[in-house]
C-alpha cells in the first residue's frame, strides 16, 4: 500500500482516525525546537492517545540522538511515531522507526535494514525537504554525513497543514523554498529521472514560481500551495535522488553555517551554466527554463542568479578562499553519479572558485 498524503487543517481528527484504525494507544512525538512556536501546538496535543515527547536532537542530527530516540520509543512502549517538524525531525523519526526493529547490541548503521510494522506519520512544518514523502534520511556519525536509505522510511501518512508555515521565520522560509526549487530542477535533469518523476518535478517547479510571492507574504494560498509544491519535489527526489548541486552544498553548510536550501541554491546556477555550455540535455533544459517562466536556458540561469541576489541580499555570507581544498575533497561521489554530466576534480574546483568569488 502506498503512502497517503492528506491535505487538511483537521489534523487531530485525521490523526485520531488513524489511531483507531490501527489500534494505536501510545505515540512517540518527535518534534524539533520550532514546535513550541507553532500556532497548532495546543491543538495537536489534544490527540486522544497518550504521547511521549522526543526532541533531543540538533538541526543536523547525530547517530547518538537516534539511538536515544529508539531507547525512549522502546522503554515507553510506544506503538507508533508522529513526526512534527522540518526535515531533521522527520529524518530522526524515520531512523527511530527503522532502528527500532533492529538489534541494539551493535551499531545500527552496520546492520541490514529491515521492514517493520511501526506506523509513522509525518507532519512537515517547512516547505523544503519533502522528507515526509521520501525513503531517505540524513544523520551524522563521527562527524561524517550518513545517508540512510530504505523503502520503509517513507512515512505511511503525510499530513500537510499549511498553518504550520505561518510562524516560520522569513529567512527560513526562503531557504527551505530554495531547497524545494533545487530538488525540482535536479530531479528533472537527474540520470535517474523517469516520466513519472518529471511530472512531479514540473508540477513542483511551476507551483513554486507561481506561489513564491504569496508564500513569502504569508498568504493562506501561498503557504498551502508551497507546502504541496515541496511535497511534489520530495516525491520526485524519492525516485531520482539529488545531483551535483546537493553534493557540493553540504560542506558549505557545515563549514560556514549556510542553511541547507540556500547552500544548494548557491551552487545550482553555476552547475547548470557549466552543463549548458557543454550542450547536454538541451531539450530537458529548455523545458526546465519554460517551467521557470523563461524563454531560454540562459534567461533561466540568469533568473536564478538574480533570485539569489534579491532573496538573500540582507543575509551576508563570507567565505575563505583557503578552504577550497576542503570543499573539493568533501564532494560525495555517489551524488555526482546522478548528475547528467560527469564532474572531475578540476571542474569541481573551478565551480567552487566561481561561487566563492561572490562571497570573499
Mean local confidence (pLDDT), 209-216: 98
Classified as helix, coil or strand, 80 is strand
Instruction: Measure the CA–CA gap between 141 and 144, rounded to whole angstroms.
Output: 5
- For the chain, the domain total comes to 2
Closest CA to 244 of 151, 350, 127: 350
Q: Which of 132, 164, 196 is the last residue of a domain?
A: 164
Determine the distance from the C-alpha atom of residue 193 to the mean position of all C-alpha atoms in its chain, rounded to a whole number: 18
Range 161-164, long-range pairs (CB < 8 A, 24+ positions): 161/8, 161/9, 161/11, 161/40, 161/123, 161/227, 162/9, 162/220, 162/223, 162/224, 162/227, 163/9, 163/38, 163/39, 163/40, 163/223, 164/38, 164/39, 164/40, 164/123, 164/124, 164/125
Contact present, 336 and 319 (Cβ < 8 Å): no
Q: Which of 164, 190, 216 is the last residue of a domain?
A: 164
- Looking up cell 487531530 gives 12
Query: For the chain, what percent of residues have pLDDT higher than 90?
Result: 92
Q: Do strands 136-141 and 144-149 pair parallel, antiparallel, or not at all (unpaired)?
A: antiparallel
Name the pTM for this structure: 0.95
- Asked if residue 159 and residue 293 are part of one domain, the reply reads no
- Looking up cell 523545458 gives 287
Q: Do strands 4-7 and 144-149 pair parallel, antiparallel, or not at all (unpaired)?
A: unpaired
- Asked if residue 221 and residue 153 are part of one domain, the reply reads no
- Asked if residue 121 and residue 238 are part of one domain, the reply reads no
Q: Which of 146, 164, 182 is the last residue of a domain?
A: 164
Q: Who's near 23: CB < 8 A, 6+ residues apart?
A: none
Residue 360 has pLDDT above 90, yes or no: no
Range 41-47, long-range pairs (CB < 8 A, 24+ positions): 43/11, 43/12, 44/11, 44/12, 44/15, 44/84, 44/123, 46/12, 47/12, 47/15, 47/16, 47/19
Going by pLDDT thresholds of 50, 70 and 90, the confidence category of residue 229 is very high
Going by pLDDT thresholds of 50, 70 and 90, the confidence category of residue 9 is very high
Determine the distance from the C-alpha atom of residue 233 to the mean position of all C-alpha atoms in its chain, rounded to a whole number: 9
Residue 153 has pLDDT above 80, yes or no: yes
- Asked if residue 145 and residue 61 are part of one domain, the reply reads yes
Mean local confidence (pLDDT), 241-264: 94
- Asked if residue 272 and residue 131 are part of one domain, the reply reads no
Mean pLDDT of the chain: 96
Domain that holds residue 185: 169-357
- Asked if residue 199 and residue 135 are part of one domain, the reply reads no
Render 126-155 in DSSP notation, one character per residue. SSS--GGG-SEEEEEETTEEEEEE-GGGS-
- Asked if residue 203 and residue 84 are part of one domain, the reply reads no
Mean local confidence (pLDDT), 11-38: 97
Residue 145 has pLDDT above 90, yes or no: no
pLDDT of residue 130: 93
CATH code, 61? 3.40.50.1970
pLDDT tens across 120-141, in order? 999 999 999 899 999 999 999 9
Instruction: Measure the CA–CA gap between 299 and 38, rounded to whole angstroms.
Output: 39
CB atoms within 10 A of CB 217: 10
Going by pLDDT thresholds of 50, 70 and 90, the confidence category of residue 59 is confident
- Asked if residue 156 and residue 33 are part of one domain, the reply reads yes
Mean local confidence (pLDDT), 193-217: 98
pLDDT tens across 72-81, in order? 999 999 999 9
CATH code, 185? 1.20.1090.10
Residue 332 has pLDDT above 90, yes or no: no
Mean local confidence (pLDDT), 108-124: 94
User: Where would I find the H helices in the chain?
Assistant: 11-21, 41-44, 63-75, 87-99, 170-189, 195-216, 220-240, 244-256, 260-277, 282-291, 297-311, 324-330, 333-336, 345-357
Closest CA to 311 of 353, 357, 266: 266
Residue 217 has pLDDT above 60, yes or no: yes
Using CA atoms in the order 125, 136, 341, 306, what is the torsion angle rounded to 10 degrees? 10
pLDDT of residue 265: 98
- Asked if residue 275 and residue 292 are part of one domain, the reply reads yes
339 backbone dihedrals φ, ψ, rounded to 5°: -75, 145
- Asked if residue 70 and residue 194 are part of one domain, the reply reads no
Q: Which three cell numbers stand for residue 235?
A: 516525491
pLDDT of residue 1: 53
Contact present, 129 and 187 (Cβ < 8 Å): no
Residue 197 has pLDDT above 70, yes or no: yes
Amino acid at each position: 500500500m502506498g503512502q497517503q498524503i492528506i491535505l487538511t487543517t483537521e489534523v487531530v481528527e485525521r490523526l485520531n482516525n488513524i489511531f483507531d484504525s490501527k489500534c494505536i494507544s501510545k505515540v512517540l512525538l518527535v518534534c524539533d525546537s520550532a514546535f513550541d512556536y507553532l500556532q497548532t501546538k495546543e491543538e495537536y496535543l489534544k490527540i486522544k492517545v497518550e504521547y511521549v515527547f522526543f526532541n533531543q536532537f540538533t538541526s543536523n542530527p547525530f547517530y547518538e540522538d537516534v539511538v536515544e530516540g529508539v531507547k525512549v520509543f522502546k522503554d515507553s512502549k510506544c506503538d507508533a511515531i508522529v513526526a512534527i517538524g522540518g526535515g531533521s525531525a522527520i529524518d530522526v523519526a524515520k531512523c527511530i522507526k527503522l532502528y527500532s526493529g533492529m538489534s541494539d547490541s551493535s551499531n545500527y548503521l552496520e546492520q541490514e535494514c529491515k521492514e517493520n510494522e511501526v506506523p509513522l506519520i509525518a507532519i512537515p512544518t517547512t516547505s523544503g525537504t519533502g522528507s515526509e514523502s521520501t525513503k531517505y534520511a540524513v544523520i551524522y556519525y563521527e562527524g561524517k554525513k550518513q545517508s540512510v536509505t530504505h523503502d520503509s522510511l517513507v512515512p505511511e501518512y503525510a499530513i500537510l497543514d499549511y498553518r504550520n508555515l505561518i510562524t516560520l521565520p522569513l529567512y527560513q522560509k526562503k531557504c527551505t523554498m530554495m531547497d524545494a526549487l533545487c530538488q525540482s530542477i535536479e530531479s528533472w535533469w537527474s540520470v535517474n529521472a523517469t516520466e513519472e518523476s518529471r511530472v512531479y518535478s514540473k508540477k513542483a517547479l511551476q507551483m513554486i514560481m507561481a506561489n513564491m510571492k504569496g508564500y513569502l507574504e504569508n498568504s493562506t494560498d501561498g503557504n498551502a500551495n508551497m507546502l504541496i509544491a515541496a511535497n511534489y519535489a520530495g516525491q520526485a527526489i524519492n525516485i531520482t535522488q539529488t545531483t551535483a548541486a546537493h553534493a557540493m552544498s553540504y560542506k558549505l553548510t557545515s563549514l560556514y553555517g549556510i542553511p541547507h536550501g540556500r547552500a544548494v541554491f548557491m551552487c545550482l546556477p553555476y552547475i547548470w551554466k557549466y552543463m549548458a555550455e557543454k550542450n547536454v540535455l538541451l531539450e530537458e533544459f529548455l523545458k526546465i527554463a519554460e517551467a521557470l517562466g523563461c524563454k531560454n536556458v540562459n534567461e533561466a540561469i540568469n533568473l536564478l542568479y538574480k533570485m539569489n541576489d534579491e532573496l538573500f541580499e540582507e543575509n551576508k555570507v563570507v567565505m575563505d578562499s583557503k578552504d577550497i581544498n576542503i570543499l573539493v575533497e568533501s564532494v560525495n561521489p555517489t551524488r555526482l553519479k546522478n548528475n547528467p554530466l560527469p564532474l572531475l576534480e578540476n571542474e569541481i574546483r573551478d565551480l567552487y572558485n566561481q561561487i566563492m568569488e561572490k562571497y570573499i
